[in-house]
């Protein structure tokens, strides 16, 4: 079985991480769709860092849920597997199933990693531990002195070409028997494009989302349930056949 799994914020919702577009997405009455932009950072880098530090804290205190665990189980038993996640949290990496975790080669964090900080000018970047966080500060690049920013892709920014390359390579090596798209509004064209191109003619395209999305009309199976309930059952069914 060759599989592609694509996830979005909905998969982490049951771990207590708010989605962007959901009712809990707002922060101090500010719209995340406006905060997660280069313009917001240019206007008020301190405010944007405060928002990211609060989100990091929340993610550190959160635990992977059965949806994350089911994906690890699928990866362990599928012949070929890739996870493309829009989530910047580390819950896919921390999730375990049968004592195993997903290896980094099997995950593409297409929108980056919230625990990374990188220079807004040069190539310098680092992973930040809790103890290194400087409250109320905007970190500066030790190489060039420019402001550091969270290592994520903001609205209106380009994806990392190396990450696109990893997804394209996986697609080029063969079509998938099973494509699962879970917990995403599928608002970005590339997400829809990858999901549709990955599926073999006889393969399944399974959407897991309580609400309809632009992909719903193309899905061979729709599961209108929370991911934490739907994915463990789905993975067991797929592995039983």
Q: φ and ψ at 239, to 5 degrees? A: -75, -20
Q: Does 144 bind Zn ion (CB under 5 A)?
A: yes
Residue nearest to ligand NAD (CB): 10
* Contact residues for ligand NAD, defined by CB under 6 A: 8-10, 12-14, 17, 19-22, 86-89, 111, 182-185, 187, 208-211, 213, 226-227
Q: Does 208 bind Zn ion (CB under 5 A)?
A: no
What residues contact residue 106 under an 8 Å CB cut-off, 6+ apart?
75, 81, 82, 83
Active site residues: 111
| Binding-site string for Zn ion from residue 65 to residue 94, where x marks contact by CB under 5 A and - marks none | ------------------------------
What residues contact residue 219 under an 8 Å CB cut-off, 6+ apart?
181, 205, 206, 207
Q: Does 141 bind Zn ion (CB under 5 A)?
A: yes
Q: Which helix (H) or strand (E) holds 67?
A: helix 66-77
Q: Which helix (H) or strand (E) holds 2?
A: strand 2-7
226 binds, among ligand NAD, Zn ion, none (CB under 5 to 8 A by kind): ligand NAD
Contact, 122 vs 95, CB < 8 A? no
CA angle 176, 180, 182 (to 5 degrees): 160
* Of positions 35, 71, 82, 119, contacts Zn ion by CB under 5 A: 119
Q: Does 124 bind Zn ion (CB under 5 A)?
A: yes
86 binds, among ligand NAD, Zn ion, none (CB under 5 to 8 A by kind): ligand NAD
Q: Which is nearer to Zn ion, 33 or 144 (CB)?
A: 144
- Separation in Å, CA 226 to CA 67, 173, 207: 9, 31, 11
How many Cα atoms occupy the beta-carbon half-sphere of 14 within 13 Å? 18
Q: Which is nearer to ligand NAD, 10 or 64 (CB)?
A: 10
Q: How far is the CB of 132 from Zn ion (least distance, A)?
A: 17
Q: Does 122 bind Zn ion (CB under 5 A)?
A: yes
- List residues near Zn ion by CB under 5 A: 119, 121-122, 124, 141, 143-144, 146
């Amino acid at each position: 079985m060759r599989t592609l799994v694509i996830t979005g914020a909905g998969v982490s919702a049951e771990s207590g991480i708010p989605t962007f577009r959901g009712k809990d997405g707002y922060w101090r009455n500010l719209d995340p769709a406006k905060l997660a932009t280069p313009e917001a950072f240019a206007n008020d880098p301190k405010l944007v860092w405060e928002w990211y530090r609060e989100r990091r804290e929340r993610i550190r205190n959160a635990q992977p849920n059965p949806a994350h665990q089911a994906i690890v189980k699928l990866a362990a038993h599928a012949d070929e597997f890739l996870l493309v996640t829009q989530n910047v949290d580390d819950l896919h990496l921390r999730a375990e199933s049968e004592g195993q975790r997903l290896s980094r080669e099997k995950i593409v964090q297409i929108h980056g990693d919230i625990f990374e900080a990188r220079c807004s000018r040069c190539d310098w970047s680092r992973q930040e531990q809790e103890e290194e966080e400087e409250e109320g500060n905007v970190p500066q690049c030790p190489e060039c002195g420019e402001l550091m920013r969270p290592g994520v892709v903001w609205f209106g920014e380009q994806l990392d070409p190396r990450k696109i390359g990893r997804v394209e390579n996986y697609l080029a090596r063969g079509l998938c028997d099973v494509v699962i798209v879970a917990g995403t509004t599928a608002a970005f064209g590339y997400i829809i494009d990858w999901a549709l191109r990955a599926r073999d003619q006889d393969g399944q395209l399974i959407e897991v989302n309580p609400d309809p999305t632009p992909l719903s009309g193309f899905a061979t199976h729709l599961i209108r349930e929370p991911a934490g309930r739907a994915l463990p059952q789905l993975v067991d069914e797929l592995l039983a056949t």
